[in-house]
A and B are shown apart, each in its own frame.
Chain A
């Protein structure tokens, strides 16, 4: 018997909007909503107080917290009443959009929604403390809906965050791979940031296209700005160098940090065939030598100072 009740409750937790619930549950929820409406001011204040107490949403002022608390509260009650979560979802997304740029963390958002759940549950205990059976039934109606609300808000927040992260990654990708010509037939490609396979691919394509359009003969790839390198990245780099060679150009890699050099030797990636020079300056000098340039100062080039 107890098992049966639990089962119906579980299905409700995941799927059940109010109109699908059994009549008594719907009636209980109505009672519940009426109670929450009646005590709106007091419960809301209690909630805002506990948020401040728990040191959540520290990025926001007291007034802002209270304003957000009010609208979250109203949306919460509405979701309980109607059993539909679309409005709440939209609100959660909107809220996330506003608070993510201000550095609000996931645990804070989850924390405040759980606090609200607790505050409301406490008030239910207080109200129904004399009728334990009724309290039980009220909680049966309340808990699944409240859990689902908490879930909706948390998921909405995380989704929004992920969207922001994706957008930023895209922005970084677009910005970060310039192929620059520094001399006739000499390109440099300064790589900054983490290289993932997708970026490595894009980088290679851009470089190959650059070689073709600029008729480059030598390319200096500077990886001073690459913080870490693993076997995958190293292999991508090897592929880039090989593809470049197929177009008849030579690659010089510069700016391998001590850490990266150690990593590469330890994991046994064969960079032996690659032309590596300590820093970008050295790389460019080496490239000039390959191209037959000789850089001299005016003093050196004057007739008195013949080439040593």
Chain B
């Protein structure tokens, strides 16, 4: 099943609605990395609220997405990891290191706008 990617202001939101095959995940990764540049987005939110399992491939793909997006000049945040999923993940040693996480979509947006405003404004001379 394809994951819809929604544009919301300066951010892209990918909301995963059901369990994904490995191919779907790769496709999501490619689409996000492509669109983040085309739409000049400053942040990406991947919402995994609906997932009740997270295997090693999914974890790695999320990590890859984060690092690739970072190379494209934007920030990624994974939101909505369920408590049980989080617990299982750490037991399996899947830690998502270096990947920002947030409680839900709202928190994710808050996280990105904070990131967006603080260092970026100071750095850019124009200060838009």
Secondary structure type dominating chain B contacts: helix
Q: Any chain B CB within 8 A of the CB of A245?
A: yes
Q: Cβ of A211 and Cβ of B95 under 8 Å apart?
A: no
Q: A247-B81, A248-B79 are in contact. Are A208 and B103 (CB under 8 A)?
A: no
Q: How far is the CA of A277 from the CA of B87 in the complex (A)?
A: 24
Contacts of A245 in B (CB 8 A): 101
Q: How far is the CA of A246 from the CA of B63 in the complex (A)?
A: 13
Q: How far is the CA of A242 from the CA of B90 in the complex (A)?
A: 7
A290 to chain B minimum Cβ distance, whole angstroms, is 12
Q: Any chain B CB within 8 A of the CB of A183?
A: no
Q: Cβ of A243 and Cβ of B103 under 8 Å apart?
A: no
B91 to chain A minimum Cβ distance, whole angstroms, is 7
Q: How far is the CA of A208 from the CA of B108 in the complex (A)?
A: 18
Contacts of A30 in B (CB 8 A): none
Q: Cβ of A248 and Cβ of B101 under 8 Å apart?
A: yes
Contacts of B82 in A (CB 8 A): 212
Q: A205-B83, A209-B83, A211-B83 are in contact. Are A247 and B89 (CB under 8 A)?
A: no
Q: Any chain A CB within 8 A of the CB of B86?
A: yes
B87 contact from A208, A215, A217, Cβ within 8 A: A208
- 0/1 per residue, A209-240, Cβ < 8 Å to B? 10110010100000000000000000000011
B103 contact from A201, A239, A249, Cβ within 8 A: A249
Q: Cβ of A239 and Cβ of B81 under 8 Å apart?
A: no
Q: A242-B95, A246-B81, A246-B96 are in contact. Are A204 and B87 (CB under 8 A)?
A: yes
Q: How far is the CA of A226 from the CA of B104 in the complex (A)?
A: 33
Among residues of B, the one whose C-beta sits closest to the C-beta of A208 is B83
Q: How far is the CA of A215 from the CA of B82 in the complex (A)?
A: 13
Q: How far is the CA of A177 from the CA of B94 in the complex (A)?
A: 26
Q: Cβ of B101 and Cβ of A243 under 8 Å apart?
A: no
Contacts of B111 in A (CB 8 A): 248
Contacts of A248 in B (CB 8 A): 79, 81, 101-103, 107-108, 111
Q: A205-B83, A246-B86 are in contact. Are A239 and B91 (CB under 8 A)?
A: yes
CB within 8 Å of B: which A73-130 residues: none
Contacts of B87 in A (CB 8 A): 201, 204-205, 208, 243
B73 to chain A minimum Cβ distance, whole angstroms, is 23
Contacts of A239 in B (CB 8 A): 90-91
Contacts of A211 in B (CB 8 A): 83, 103
- 0/1 per residue, A142-153, Cβ < 8 Å to B? 000000000000
Q: Cβ of A247 and Cβ of B96 under 8 Å apart?
A: no
Q: Cβ of A246 and Cβ of B89 under 8 Å apart?
A: yes
Contacts of A244 in B (CB 8 A): 86
Contacts of A246 in B (CB 8 A): 81, 85-86, 89-90, 96, 101
Q: Cβ of B103 and Cβ of A247 under 8 Å apart?
A: yes
Q: A212-B83, A248-B101 are in contact. Are A243 and B90 (CB under 8 A)?
A: yes
Contacts of A208 in B (CB 8 A): 83-84, 86-87
Contacts of B95 in A (CB 8 A): 242
8 contacts between A and B (CB under 8 A): A215-B104, A215-B107, A217-B103, A240-B90, A242-B90, A243-B90, A246-B101, A247-B86
Partner-B contacts on A (CB < 8 A): 201, 204-205, 208-209, 211-212, 215, 217, 239-240, 242-249
